[in-house]
């Protein structure tokens, strides 16, 4: 694989077909005239850990070949290491504005009962 265009007809690993990562993949692929269902499909395999593991192996546990996925740090750094070495076809930041890939959530009743704002502020500033 030398470019995004080489993904034509290939299945791409994703966590879910409705996740933010899947939407970003669709957006980037559409810029290369690669449309979900017509030119490529998703292999729904779950978390980034799984996708990285299968990418390293070159296949899913059932032997199905894998070609590409979207990775986040630290897997992007791992993929650029001498072994294994992956070709980065595109950087999300070249196509969309930066966004956080993690969310911090708490239920409202727990928030009201415990008021953990100082802990969250400290955690986010580290």
pLDDT band at 116 (very low <50, low <70, confident <90, very high): low
CATH fold for domain 4-97: D-Maltodextrin-Binding Protein; domain 2 (3.40.190)
The residues near 67 (Cβ < 8 Å, ≥ 6 apart) are: 1, 7, 10, 11, 12
pTM over 0.85: no
Within 8 A by CB and 6+ apart from 2, the residues are 87
pLDDT for 126 beyond 60: no
For the segment 94-123, the average pLDDT, to the nearest whole number, is 66
Q: Give the model's pLDDT for residue 107.
A: 72
pLDDT at position 115 is: 63
Q: Distance (Å, rounded) from C-alpha 71 to C-alpha 90?
A: 11
**pLDDT tens per residue across span 50-78:** 999 999 999 999 999 999 998 887 888 77
CB 125 within 8 A of CB 39: no
């Amino acid at each position: 694989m030398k470019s995004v265009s080489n993904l034509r007809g290939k299945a791409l690993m994703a966590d879910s077909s409705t996740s933010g990562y899947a939407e970003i993949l669709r957006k980037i692929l559409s810029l290369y005239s690669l449309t979900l269902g017509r030119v490529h499909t998703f292999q729904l395999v779950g978390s980034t850990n799984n996708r990285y593991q299968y990418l390293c192996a070159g296949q899913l546990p059932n032997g199905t070949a894998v070609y590409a996925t979207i990775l986040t740090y630290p897997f992007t750094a791992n993929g650029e290491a001498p072994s294994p070495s992956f070709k980065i076809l595109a950087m999300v930041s070249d196509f969309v504005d930066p966004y956080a890939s993690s969310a911090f959530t708490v239920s409202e009743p727990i928030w009201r009962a415990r008021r953990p704002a100082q802990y969250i502020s400290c955690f986010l500033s580290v």
